[in-house]
């Protein structure tokens, strides 16, 4: 006898995903959030460098990226780096910014969102986690050398001008030098800049958030660490992570007073 699929029969299936969605949808204690993100970052670094490095495949993939940019007439990275090298002191500044903004500003903005806009933190955090997981898949299936290691005449300005050798044996044990696609330097900048532009109250801060991804794009290209298409891939995984986070986290209705304040900020 055929059993009717009454909605009540589907309740166990629906409830199966509730613990995960509930954990993602709510901010937890600060220590828990910090420990979880540090743990995930450690796992990310471990997986990112796992296995044998296939430099031949990475070189072929990099050549395909360059060929695609040439067909699209956007292969401009060498010209951008040459211009930056011609400005006294700029290359060293960009080398420092390449590391400092990614490693310091990203967690600083996460802390700010947690403290000042806690109801929005689950969406930002989950976007970060999902996009990072997607990026790991990209590193495994599509190894690619950055411009500075591609034999195309690019300078390694972070190593040469900022005094930190990215190709050293010590640093090489902590990261995968051929994990350039997608660029999470740009992807995280898109997430961080978007969060600032979305949540900041001051117009100057919202503007800074809006331009931050473009600034990071210039930095990663001028330092010889990424091609433009690497950044496109980084932006794509963050947008996919945001879409997944929106599906995983139920939307919350804002109080009328808060909606009014947000409208007032946007019209200032």
The tokens for 69 are: 């940019």
Q: What is the mean pLDDT of the chain?
A: 80
pLDDT score of 14 more than 50: no
pLDDT digits (tens, 9 = 90+) for 46-55: 655 555 567 8
User: CA 259: distance to chain centroid?
Assistant: 29
Interval 38-74: pLDDT, tens: 666 666 656 555 555 678 899 999 999 999 999 999 9
CA 157 to each of CA 1, 46, 217, 224: distance values in angstroms, whole numbers, following the listed order = 73, 26, 15, 7
Token pair of 184 as six digits: 């999470």
> In this predicted structure, what is the pLDDT of residue 258?
54
Distance CA 268, CA 266 (A): 6
Most confident of 135-139, 162-166, 256-260: 135-139
pLDDT of 253? 47
- Bridge partners (DSSP) listed for residue 179: 144
Residues 6 or more apart whose Cβ sits within 8 Å of residue 107: 37
Q: Which residue has the tokens 């072929």?
A: 60
| Mean pLDDT, residues 176-184 | 89
What's the number of CA atoms in the CB half-sphere (13 Å) around residue 27?
Answer: 19
């Amino acid at each position: 006898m055929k059993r009717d699929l009454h909605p009540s029969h589907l309740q166990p299936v629906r409830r199966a995903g509730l613990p995960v969605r509930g954990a993602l949808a709510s901010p937890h204690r600060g220590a828990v959030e910090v420990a979880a993100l540090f743990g995930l970052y450690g796992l990310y670094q471990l997986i990112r460098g796992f296995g044998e490095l296939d430099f031949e495949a990475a070189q072929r993939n990099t050549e395909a990226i360059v060929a695609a940019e040439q067909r699209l007439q956007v292969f401009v990275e060498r010209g951008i780096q040459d211009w930056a090298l011609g400005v006294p002191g700029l290359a060293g500044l960009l080398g420092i910014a390449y590391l400092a903004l990614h490693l310091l500003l990203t967690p600083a903005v996460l802390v700010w969102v947690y403290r000042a806009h806690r109801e929005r933190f689950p969406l930002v955090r989950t976007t970060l986690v999902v996009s990072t997981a997607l990026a790991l898949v990209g590193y495994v299936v599509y190894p690619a050398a950055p411009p500075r290691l591609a034999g195309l005449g690019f300078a390694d300005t972070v190593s040469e001008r900022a005094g930190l050798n990215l190709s050293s044996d010590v640093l090489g044990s902590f990261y995968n030098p051929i994990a350039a696609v997608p660029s999470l330097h740009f992807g995280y900048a898109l997430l961080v800049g978007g969060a600032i532009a979305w949540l900041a109250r001051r117009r100057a801060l919202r503007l800074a958030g809006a331009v931050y991804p473009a600034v990071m794009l210039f930095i990663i290209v001028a330092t010889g660490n990424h091609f433009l298409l690497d950044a496109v891939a980084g932006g794509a995984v963050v947008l996919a992570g945001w879409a997944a986070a929106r599906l995983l986290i139920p939307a919350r209705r804002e109080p009328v007073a808060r909606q009014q304040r947000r409208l007032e900020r946007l019209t200032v």
